[in-house]
Structure 1
Amino acid sequence: MPLQAQTLGKALGEDLTLHTTLCRREAGSFQKAVKSGETVVVACTQEKRLFSELAEQTEGAISPIRFVNIRETGGWGREAEHAMPKMAALLAAARLPEPEPVPTVTYKSEGRVLIIGAIDAAERAASFLADAMQVTVFAQGPGNAGGSQERRFPVLAGRLQSLSGWLGAFDVSWDASNPIDLDLCTRCNACVAACPEQAIGLDYQVDLSRCTSHRDCVKVCEAAGAIDFTRDARPQTERFDVVLDLRGDKASPTFTSHALPQGYFRWDGQDLQTLLKVRELVGEFEKPRFFAYKQKLCAHSRNEQVGCSACIDICSAEAVRSDKSRQQIVVNPNLCVGCGACTTACPTGALTYAYPRPAEQGTKIRTLLSAYQAAGGRDAALLLHSQDKGQALIDELGRGAQLGVMQGVPARVMPVALWHTASVGMELWLSAVAYGARQVMVLLTTEEAPQYRAALMEQMAVAQSLLNGLGYTGVHFQLIEAKTPSSLDADLQHLTARNLKASTLPTGPAVAARHAVQAEKRSNLELVIDHLMAQSPVMAQDESTRPKALDLPAAGSPLGTIVVDGSKCTLCMSCVGACPSSALQDNPLQPEIRLVEKNCVQCGLCAKTCPENAITLQPRLSLLAERQQPRVLHGSPPYACIRCSKPFGTLKAIETMLGRLAGHSMFQGAALERLKMCGDCRVVDMFTDENQVRIAGANPSKPQ
Structure 2
Amino acid sequence: MTTEFKVCNCNRTMPLDAAAGTQLGAALGTAPIPIATELCRREVGTYLKTLDGVDDVVVACTQERSLFVELAQQKGTVAPLRFVNIRETGGWSAQAGQALPKMAALLAAAALPDPEPVPIVNYDSAGHVLIIGPADQALPWAQRLREQVDVSVLLTSGSESQMLGERSFPSFSGKKIKVDGWLGAFNVRWQQDNPIDLESCIRCNACIEVCPESAIDLTYQIDLDKCRSHGDCVKACGSIGAINFARGELAGANERNGEFDLIFDLSSTPLVHTHQLPQGYFAPGQDVARQFEDSLKLTQMVGQFEKPKFFSYKEKLCAHSRNGKIGCNACIEICSAEAISHNGNHVKVNPNLCAGCGACTTVCPSGAMAYAYPRTEDMGLRVKTLLNTYAKAGGRQAGLLFHSKGQGATLIAQAGRLAKAGWNGIPARIIPVELHHTAAVGIDVWLAAFAYGAANVSVMVTDEEAPQYLDALQQQMELAQTIMSGLGYAGVHVQLIRINTAAELDTYVNALAPAQTTEIRATFNVAADKRTTLEFALDHLHRHAPISVEQIALPAGSLYGAVVVNRDACTLCMSCVGACPESALTDNANAPQLRFIEKNCVQCGLCEKTCPENAITLVPRLLLTPAAKELQVLNEAEPFHCISCQKPFGTAKMIENMVGKLSMHGAFSGNINRLKMCPDCRVVDMMANKQESSVSDFK
TM-score exceeds 0.5 = yes
Match of 1:590 in 2: 591
Match of 1:581 in 2: 582
Note the C-alpha offset of 1:223. 10
Match of 1:542 in 2: none
679 and 115 in structure 1: CA distance in 2 versus 1, 3 angstrom threshold:
closer
156 and 688 in structure 1: CA distance in 2 versus 1, 3 angstrom threshold:
closer
How large is the Cα RMSD of the aligned pairs? 2.3
Note the C-alpha offset of 1:209. 3.9
- Output one character per residue of 1:244-274: Cα deviation in whole Å (capped at 9) or x when no partner: 111122x6xx211111101111122332222
- Output one character per residue of 1:500-525: Cα deviation in whole Å (capped at 9) or x when no partner: xxxxx311112011001111111111
- Where 1:567 maps in the other structure, the secondary structure is coil
660 and 86 in structure 1: CA distance in 2 versus 1, 3 angstrom threshold:
same
184 and 622 in structure 1: CA distance in 2 versus 1, 3 angstrom threshold:
closer
| Distance in 2 of aligned mates of 1:638 and 1:415 | 62
Note the C-alpha offset of 1:171. 0.8
Match of 2:401 in 1: 383
Does the 8 Å CA contact 1:571/1:635 hold for their aligned counterparts?
A: yes
| Distance in 2 of aligned mates of 1:64 and 1:416 | 21
Structure 1 window deviating more from structure 2 (641-650 vs 370-379): it is 641-650
Match of 2:573 in 1: 572
Note the C-alpha offset of 1:350. 0.7
261 and 86 in structure 1: CA distance in 2 versus 1, 3 angstrom threshold:
same
- Where 2:619 maps in the other structure, the secondary structure is strand
| Distance in 1 of aligned mates of 2:268 and 2:262 | 16
Does the 8 Å CA contact 1:199/1:210 hold for their aligned counterparts?
A: yes
Structure 1 window deviating more from structure 2 (634-643 vs 376-385): it is 634-643
Does the 8 Å CA contact 2:160/2:218 hold for their aligned counterparts?
A: no
Matches within 5 A, 1:612-691: 612-664=613-665, 667=668, 671-682=671-682
| Distance in 1 of aligned mates of 2:643 and 2:238 | 96
Matches within 5 A, 1:191-230: 191-192=207-208, 194-218=210-234, 227=243, 229=245
- Output one character per residue of 1:35-94: Cα deviation in whole Å (capped at 9) or x when no partner: 2232110011111111112111214x2222111011111112111111111111000000
Match of 2:469 in 1: 452
1:694 to 679, 689, 692: 692
| Distance in 2 of aligned mates of 1:36 and 1:408 | 37
Match of 1:38 in 2: 55
2:537 to 510, 528, 546: 528
658 and 335 in structure 1: CA distance in 2 versus 1, 3 angstrom threshold:
same
Match of 1:266 in 2: 283
| Distance in 1 of aligned mates of 2:480 and 2:109 | 25
- Paired AA for residue 318 in structure 2: C
TM-score, normalised with respect to structure 1: 0.91
| Distance in 2 of aligned mates of 1:591 and 1:606 | 18
Match of 1:552 in 2: 554
Matches within 5 A, 1:329-408: 329-404=347-422, 406-408=423-425
Matches within 5 A, 1:40-59: 40-59=57-76
Match of 2:4 in 1: none
| Distance in 2 of aligned mates of 1:243 and 1:148 | 20
Name the % identity: 52
Note the C-alpha offset of 1:381. 0.3
| Distance in 2 of aligned mates of 1:193 and 1:80 | 78
133 and 537 in structure 1: CA distance in 2 versus 1, 3 angstrom threshold:
same
- Paired AA for residue 347 in structure 2: I
- Paired AA for residue 288 in structure 1: P
Match of 1:153 in 2: 169
- Where 1:270 maps in the other structure, the secondary structure is helix
- Output one character per residue of 1:415-451: Cα deviation in whole Å (capped at 9) or x when no partner: 1000100011111110111100010000110011111
Does the 8 Å CA contact 1:194/1:217 hold for their aligned counterparts?
A: yes
Matches within 5 A, 1:454-469: 454-469=471-486
| Distance in 1 of aligned mates of 2:675 and 2:128 | 71
135 and 682 in structure 1: CA distance in 2 versus 1, 3 angstrom threshold:
closer
Note the C-alpha offset of 1:345. 0.9
| Distance in 2 of aligned mates of 1:171 and 1:661 | 54
- Paired AA for residue 276 in structure 1: L
1:279 to 290, 299, 309: 299
Does the 8 Å CA contact 1:120/1:148 hold for their aligned counterparts?
A: no
Matches within 5 A, 1:65-80: 65-80=81-96
Note the C-alpha offset of 1:587. 1.6
| Distance in 1 of aligned mates of 2:483 and 2:160 | 61
- Paired AA for residue 11 in structure 1: A
Matches within 5 A, 1:485-564: 485-496=502-513, 505-539=514-548, 546=549, 548-555=550-557, 557-564=558-565
| Distance in 1 of aligned mates of 2:168 and 2:583 | 65
658 and 191 in structure 1: CA distance in 2 versus 1, 3 angstrom threshold:
closer
- Output one character per residue of 1:158-194: Cα deviation in whole Å (capped at 9) or x when no partner: 2344211110011112333533343565656564454
- Paired AA for residue 142 in structure 1: G
- Output one character per residue of 1:653-696: Cα deviation in whole Å (capped at 9) or x when no partner: 12222332344465558x3344333344445666788xx99332
8 and 127 in structure 1: CA distance in 2 versus 1, 3 angstrom threshold:
farther
| Distance in 2 of aligned mates of 1:152 and 1:434 | 65
| Distance in 1 of aligned mates of 2:92 and 2:696 | 98
| Distance in 2 of aligned mates of 1:186 and 1:644 | 88
| Distance in 2 of aligned mates of 1:683 and 1:109 | 64
Does the 8 Å CA contact 1:128/1:275 hold for their aligned counterparts?
A: no
436 and 224 in structure 1: CA distance in 2 versus 1, 3 angstrom threshold:
same
1:174 to 182, 190, 195: 190
- Paired AA for residue 281 in structure 1: M
Structure 1 window deviating more from structure 2 (238-247 vs 184-193): it is 184-193
| Distance in 1 of aligned mates of 2:673 and 2:186 | 67
Note the C-alpha offset of 1:364. 0.2
- Output one character per residue of 1:200-245: Cα deviation in whole Å (capped at 9) or x when no partner: 2342201234311234445666698754556674532211111011
- Output one character per residue of 1:259-305: Cα deviation in whole Å (capped at 9) or x when no partner: 11011111223322222111111111100000111111111111221
- Paired AA for residue 408 in structure 2: G
Match of 2:328 in 1: 308
Match of 1:543 in 2: none
173 and 665 in structure 1: CA distance in 2 versus 1, 3 angstrom threshold:
closer
Note the C-alpha offset of 1:584. 1.1
- Output one character per residue of 1:543-570: Cα deviation in whole Å (capped at 9) or x when no partner: xxx5x42100013x11111111111111
Matches within 5 A, 1:66-145: 66-143=82-159, 145=161
- Paired AA for residue 442 in structure 1: V
Note the C-alpha offset of 1:479. 0.4
Structure 1 window deviating more from structure 2 (647-656 vs 187-196): it is 187-196
- Where 1:696 maps in the other structure, the secondary structure is helix
| Distance in 2 of aligned mates of 1:644 and 1:227 | 83
| Distance in 2 of aligned mates of 1:549 and 1:279 | 59
Does the 8 Å CA contact 2:159/2:217 hold for their aligned counterparts?
A: no
Equivalences, count: 674
Does the 8 Å CA contact 1:37/1:64 hold for their aligned counterparts?
A: no
- Where 1:127 maps in the other structure, the secondary structure is helix
- Paired AA for residue 69 in structure 1: N
- Where 1:368 maps in the other structure, the secondary structure is helix
Unaligned runs of at least 5 residues, structure 2: 1-13
- Paired AA for residue 427 in structure 1: D
| Distance in 1 of aligned mates of 2:627 and 2:696 | 59
630 and 56 in structure 1: CA distance in 2 versus 1, 3 angstrom threshold:
same
Does the 8 Å CA contact 2:172/2:197 hold for their aligned counterparts?
A: no
| Distance in 1 of aligned mates of 2:510 and 2:259 | 52
- Paired AA for residue 332 in structure 2: I
| Distance in 1 of aligned mates of 2:320 and 2:576 | 14
- Where 2:348 maps in the other structure, the secondary structure is strand
- Where 2:289 maps in the other structure, the secondary structure is coil
Structure 1 window deviating more from structure 2 (362-371 vs 72-81): it is 72-81
